[in-house]
Amino acid sequence: MNITLDQAKNAIKAALAKAGELGVKMNIAVVDSGANLTAFARMDGAWLGSVDISIKKARTARFFDMNTGEIGKLSQPGGSLYNIEHSNNGLITFPGGIPIRDNSGQIIGAIGVSGSTVEDDHAVAEAGVQAIS
Amino acid sequence: MNITLDQAKNAIKAALAKAGELGVKMNIAVVDSGANLTAFARMDGAWLGSVDISIKKARTARFFDMNTGEIGKLSQPGGSLYNIEHSNNGLITFPGGIPIRDNSGQIIGAIGVSGSTVEDDHAVAEAGVQAIS
Amino acid sequence: MNITLDQAKNAIKAALAKAGELGVKMNIAVVDSGANLTAFARMDGAWLGSVDISIKKARTARFFDMNTGEIGKLSQPGGSLYNIEHSNNGLITFPGGIPIRDNSGQIIGAIGVSGSTVEDDHAVAEAGVQAIS
Amino acid sequence: MNITLDQAKNAIKAALAKAGELGVKMNIAVVDSGANLTAFARMDGAWLGSVDISIKKARTARFFDMNTGEIGKLSQPGGSLYNIEHSNNGLITFPGGIPIRDNSGQIIGAIGVSGSTVEDDHAVAEAGVQAIS
């Protein structure tokens, strides 16, 4: 199963609403089950550097089927996955990337958000996920 | 001046409508005046390889402020811009990328479309441009 | 639907048999429906440069859901897709890459073969496809 | 001396068996004495991000003729090889990559495994090595 464009749009719409609520400017990316970009939106004035970060967060979340922040806990100096970020043309391993599941629990894609604190990034990504699951 | 997310969404909406009319599956990318990705949508079942091509077409159109196909005429063997595609981490110089202008004629971004023949790609990109200009 | 490892192994086994029959040394790559590597084998003494070519052929075939050689016809100087090879971190557009379909005709992956003439490459890839479809 | 495709296949077969025993889904890569990919297999449902990591582990193990985890001990902040991961288009220096030796002790290639904990990754890689040495 693969996320549809309609589902991806709904995720982005919900994420944009959450960002507006928080008063932050976000880049929001959605990838499909093959980690290929499906939909993307950058809010007016959002950080340019977060275009790539949001896409990499979405890809990272699908690459390992877990929240990006979970990987970041393991990739610290001395951690078991230290410097895993050098793989796959660059991973982003701090919070803001979350896998997207369908009703049956199967992963159909992932969302990545970047543009504010990692707490805000995660909250906005979570709002996107909730719009689908 | 810079394209807004609302304008970019309108361009993509119009492009998706045109693609539906033509019965083709497209990847559609919009970049801003700085050639940075602003919005993107991949129709269900559209070619995976066209994700990157649509983004590169939009960037190429803004990089040189002209339709991508115009550059392609000059990049042929013996042409004045032979193999310019090697620059900027890869250009795409066949039709499907068009600059986007505001009412005053100033360039505020560009759109790139990929997923069918270059004629269809260009027609869908043109529909996106018309929704804004 | 996505190709399984067992199916990918069968495709490679059949391709290796065909290569043996032709007396050529091949690199054989199979990707899934998301264009991600699933299985790979390099015959003893096969060209080292063909590792990357076989993988790129398989990815190219899935990126555009057609035989790589078909794209190569359109990417020649003066052709409608001239220099498309600059996209997606490098495409290979001469023969040797073929999409893989399941019984219902849906594309579930692709195979790429490199190591001899493009005619041999294509014949060996075709043998791999036949083992599955 | 160089690993043969038959040896590489045996290593992967043994590694797959060990992975099945552990109940984990692995990506398994084997490179030759020149650090070039020789054989690869991704188990159904294994992490997509581990395709690249398994290949980089195998290459890293052959690049420096030692277990990847040994390099990781030296690449920590303050360590003598700090951030060596930036070289060679990206190294992976946590456990899961092991050189493969022939009966005489000469290195003929390496194996890299990714898809679970680093302990599991290493155990599966070790099973692959044992099938040859």
Give the pLDDT confidence score for residue A133 in this predicted structure. Answer: 73
- Neighboring chains of C (3 or more beta-carbon pairs < 8 A): A, B, D
Residue C49 vs residues A4, C54, C92, D6: alpha-carbon distances, Å: 37, 9, 13, 20
D47 close to D39: Cβ distance less than 8 angstroms: no
Instruction: Identify all chain B residues contacting A37, using CB atoms and an 8 Å cutoff.
Output: 40, 42, 51
- Neighboring chains of D (3 or more beta-carbon pairs < 8 A): A, C
Ordered alpha helix ranges (H), D35-90? 49-64, 68-74
- CATH T-level topology, domain D5-132: Beta-Lactamase (3.30.450)
Give the pLDDT confidence score for residue D50 in this predicted structure. Answer: 98
Give the pLDDT confidence score for residue D133 in this predicted structure. Answer: 72
Structure tokens of D89? 């288009």
Place of tokens 């302990």: D119
Sorted by sequence, the CB contacts under 8 Å of residue D69 that are 6+ apart come out as D93, D94, D95, D96, D118, D122
CA B31 to chain centre: 8
Residue C100 main-chain phi, psi, to 5 deg: -110, 130
Is the Cβ pair C9, D41 closer than 8 Å?
A: yes
Mean pLDDT of B39-47: 98
Instruction: Identify all chain D residues contacting C5, using CB atoms and an 8 Å cutoff.
Output: 41-44
Q: CB neighbours (10 Å) of residue B89?
A: 9
B109 close to B100: Cβ distance less than 8 angstroms: yes
B and D interact (at least 3 Cβ pairs within 8 A): no
pLDDT tens digits, residue range C8-67? 999 999 999 999 999 999 999 999 999 999 999 999 999 999 999 999 999 999 999 999
Give the pLDDT confidence score for residue C133 in this predicted structure. Answer: 73
User: Smallest Cβ distance to B40: which of A34, A39, A48?
Assistant: A39
A54 close to A27: Cβ distance less than 8 angstroms: yes
Amino acid letter, C76: Q
Residue C96 vs residues A82, C40, C70, C115: alpha-carbon distances, Å: 39, 15, 11, 10
User: Smallest Cβ distance to B48: which of C63, C77, C86?
Assistant: C63
User: Smallest Cβ distance to A83: which of D52, D93, D117?
Assistant: D93
String of DSSP letters for chain B: ----HHHHHHHHHHHHHHHHHHT---EEEEEETTS-EEEEEE-TT--TTHHHHHHHHHHHHHHHTS-HHHHHHHSSTTSTTTTGGGSTT----SSSEEEEE-TTS-EEEEEEEESS-HHHHHHHHHHHHHTT-
Structure tokens of A122? 């995660």
Closest-approach residue (CA) in chain C for A109: C34
A42 close to B38: Cβ distance less than 8 angstroms: yes
Question: From the candidates B48, B86, B122, which should be mutated to test the interface with C, based on the most C CB atoms within 10 A?
Answer: B48
How far apart CA C20 and CA D85 sit, in angstroms, is 39
How far apart CA A76 and CA A74 sit, in angstroms, is 6
Is the Cβ pair A35, D48 closer than 8 Å?
A: yes
CA torsion sign, D50 to D56 to D61 to D62?
positive
Instruction: Identify all chain D residues contacting C59, using CB atoms and an 8 Å cutoff.
Output: none
Give the pLDDT confidence score for residue D79 in this predicted structure. Answer: 96
Q: What letter does residue C76 receive in the DSSP assignment?
A: S
Q: What is the mean pLDDT of chain B?
A: 97
Q: How far is B109 from chain C (nearest CA, A)?
A: 21
Burial class (CB in 10 A: 0-12, 13-18, 19+), C89: exposed
Give the pLDDT confidence score for residue D68 in this predicted structure. Answer: 98
Q: What is the mean pLDDT of chain D?
A: 97
Q: List chain D residues with pLDDT less than 70.
A: none
pLDDT tens digits, residue range D21-35? 999 999 999 999 999
pLDDT tens digits, residue range B4-36? 999 999 999 999 999 999 999 999 999 999 999
Residue D33 vs residues C19, C25, D60, D108: alpha-carbon distances, Å: 23, 18, 12, 5
Is the Cβ pair A36, C32 closer than 8 Å?
A: no
Give the pLDDT confidence score for residue D18 in this predicted structure. Answer: 98
Is the Cβ pair A77, D72 closer than 8 Å?
A: no
Is the Cβ pair D92, A83 closer than 8 Å?
A: yes
Is the Cβ pair A37, B42 closer than 8 Å?
A: yes
| pLDDT reading at B115 higher than 80 | yes
Give the pLDDT confidence score for residue B1 in this predicted structure. Answer: 83
Q: Count interface pairs A-B at CB distance under 8 A.
A: 44
User: Which pLDDT tens digits describe chain A residue by residue (133 residues)?
Assistant: 899 999 999 999 999 999 999 999 999 999 999 999 999 999 999 999 999 999 999 999 999 999 999 999 999 999 999 999 999 999 999 999 999 999 999 999 999 999 999 999 999 999 999 999 7
How far apart CA B86 and CA B94 sit, in angstroms, is 14
Structure tokens of C20? 């043996």
Instruction: Identify all chain A residues contacting D72, using CB atoms and an 8 Å cutoff.
Output: 82-83
Percent of chain C whose pLDDT exceeds 90: 98
Structure tokens of B1? 């001046």
Instruction: Identify all chain A residues contacting C33, using CB atoms and an 8 Å cutoff.
Output: 34
